[in-house]
Structure 1
Amino acid sequence: MLDQITPVILTWNEAPNIGRNLDRLGWAREVVVVDSGSDDETAAIAARYPNVRWLTRTFDSHERQWTYAVQETGIATPWVLRLDADYIVHQATIEEIAALSPSDDIGGYRTAFDYCIDGRRLRGSLYPPLPTLLRRDRVTFVQDGHTEKAHVTGTVPTLRGRIDHDDRKSLERWLL
C-alpha cells in the first residue's frame, strides 16, 4: 500500500525536527512539504531528500494550510499520511501500513502517539489517537481552537503502530 500514499508535512522553522522525520520516509516516492516561510535551515535540510517536493504558502490558519496541502498541491496518490515535522513514524507502523488492504468503507486510520522530551518517551499520555492516514477524497479540515481537526467520511480504525511526537526545538521557544 505504500505506493498509494504521499506523506504531507507542514513546517515553519522546523530545522531541529524535519530531518529525523524525513529519515523515516525514504519509502515514499514523494513527500509534500508545505512551509509557512521558515527563516531557519528547514528548507536546506529538506532539500537533502530527493523525494521532497517543497512548497511555500503564507500561513493563515491550520485548516486552510492542511486543505491546501492535501487538496491543492497536485498529489497523485489516493492516500496521504498527515504528519507534523516533529513526528517520527515507528518502523513497525510503516510495516503495518504497507500490509494494509483497506475496504471501501475505510476513510482513514488513526494513530496513537508516544510523547517524548529530548528523545525520551514519556510513560503515558491522555492524548487520543489522531487521524493520520487519510483517503484524500474523504477528508476535510475544520479549524478547532489554535489548530485543526480532520473530519473523515467512513470508518476510521486505529492502527496498532505508533508515532513519536518528539519536538526538539529549544525550551526557550516554549517558555518565553
Structure 2
Amino acid sequence: MMIPISVVIPVKNEEKNLPRSLDLLKEFSEIIVVDSGSTDKTKEIAEKWGARFINFEWNGKFPKKRNWVLRNERLKNDWVLFLDADELPSKEFIEEIKERVGREDYDGYWITFINYFMGNQLKHGDKFRKLPLFKVSKGEYEKIEEDSWSHLDMEIHEHPIIEGNVGSIKAPIIHNDYRGLEHYIQKHNAYSSWEARRYLKLKEEGFDQLNKRQRLKYKLIEMGVMPAAYFIGSFFFKAGFLDGRTGYDFARFKANYFLQIQSKIKEFQK
C-alpha cells in the first residue's frame, strides 16, 4: 500500500539534495516538485524519480509557492506533507505517519527536526519544529501583506493555520543541507532582509496578530539585544555547548543572523 499523502517539495537548484530526498519518499503515492526556475539538473532528477514537476513563476503577490499549490493544483490525497529537499524522513517517521493519517482525531501534525550543521548533528540547543503535515481541506499558510517589499517566492516564516486539532509526530525528520556553508550564509542573508522589512511593516500595522514567541523575538530585536539573547539562551540555557565546537559555531551564526536583521532595520529606516 502506498502512503496516501501528497508530498510537495519546493525547490530551486537542488540537484545535490533532491536525489537523496526522492529516494526516501518512494512509498508515498504522490510526489510533486515545485521549481522556481532552476538552472541545474533539478528537473531531470525529478522526472527520473517519477515525480510530477511544476515550474512556478511568482508574480510578486499572494499566493506564494506553497499556498499556490494548495489553491491551484489538484492533489491526489487528503493529506499533504511539505518538505524541503534537504529534509529527509527517517524510517521511524514514515512508519509513524502510516498509522497517523488513517485516524480522524487530528487535522495536522507538528514535526520535530534533527538538525545538522557543517556535517555534524546538533543534539542540543534550540530545537527546530514545524507544522508541514495537514489535511488539504483544513489548512493554508498564513497570508502576510508583502506585495510591495518581499523578494522571496516561497513561504519561509509563514506558519500554517489549521482548522481543527493539531497533534505531534514523535519520530523526527533529518534536516541536512549538503550545499555547504556558503549556501547557508546566502540563504540567511536573504531571510534577514525579509525579516527586517517585515518588522518595519509590523511596526506600522501592530504586532497583535503574532503569537507570544514571535512578539518576544521582535521585542528583543527592537531593544537591540536579540543576538546576545539567542546565543545565551541556545548555547548556555539549552545546553548547545554540549555539541562542542559545532554547537558554538551554529549559535554564533544564528546570533549573527539576528544581528543582520537589526542592522538592516536601521539601514532601511534611513
Q: 1:161 aligns to what SS in structure 2?
A: strand
Indicate which of 137, 153, 165 corresponds to 2:175. 165
Q: Following the alignment from structure 1 to structure 2, what is the Cα–Cα distance between the partners of residues 78 and 146? A: 23
What is the aligned partner in structure 1 of residue 161 from structure 2? 151
The total of aligned residue pairs comes to 174
C-alpha RMSD of the superposition: 2.2
Q: Greater share of helix residues, 1 or 2?
A: 2
Contact 1:5 1:78 in 2 (8 A): yes
Partner of 2:55: 56
Rate the CA distance shift 1:107–1:77 in 2: closer, same or farther, 3 A.
same
**Matched residues in 2 for 1:46 and 1:118: separation?**
26
SS at match of 1:30: strand
Structure 2's unaligned 5+ residue stretches are 145-154, 187-270
Whole-angstrom CA distance in 2 between matches of 1:64 and 1:129? 21
SS of the residue 1:4 aligns to: strand
Cα pair 1:63 1:141 within 8 Å, conserved: no
**Cα distance in 1 for residues equivalent to 2:184 and 2:170:** 31
What TM-score do you get using the length of structure 2 for normalisation? 0.59
How far residue 125 of structure 1 moved from its aligned partner, in angstroms, is: 4.2
Q: Is the 8 A contact 2:114 2:128 kept in 1?
A: no
Write the mapping of 1:7-18 to structure 2, written as runs, cut at 5 A: 7-18=7-18
The answer (yes or no) to whether the contact 1:3–1:29 under 8 Å persists in 2 is yes
**1:109-148 correspondence runs (5 A):** 109-143=109-143, 147-148=157-158
Against the structure 1 CA distance between its residues 172 and 31, is the aligned structure 2 distance closer, same or farther, given a 3 Å change threshold? same
Change (3 A) 1:77 1:13: same
Matches for 1:20-59 after TM superposition, within 5 Å: 20-50=20-50, 52-59=51-58
- The Cα of 1:155 is off from its aligned counterpart by 1.1
- Distance, in Å, in 2 between the alignment partners of 1:140 and 1:125 is 29
Larger Rg: 2
Distance 2:106 2:77 in 1: 16
Assess, with a 3 A threshold, how the Cα gap between structure 1 residues 130 and 62 changes in structure 2: closer, same or farther. Answer: farther
Q: Deviations over 1:49-92 (max 9, x none)?
A: 02x00001124479521111233111121001111111000010
One-letter identity of the residue aligned with 1:166: N
Once the two structures are TM-superposed, the CA of residue 122 in structure 1 deviates from its matched residue by 1.1
**Secondary structure, in 3 states, of the residue corresponding to 2:39?**
coil
Judge conservation of contact 2:111–2:131 (CA < 8 Å) in 1.
yes
Following superposition, the deviation at residue 146 of structure 1 comes to: 5.2
Q: Which has more strand, going by share of residues?
A: 1
CA distance in 2, matches of 1:84, 1:97: 18
RCO (CA 8 Å, sep 6+): is it higher in 1 or 2?
A: 1
1:38/1:142 CA distance change after superposition, 3 Å: same
**Alpha-carbon distance in structure 2 between the residues aligned to 1:61 and 1:34:** 17
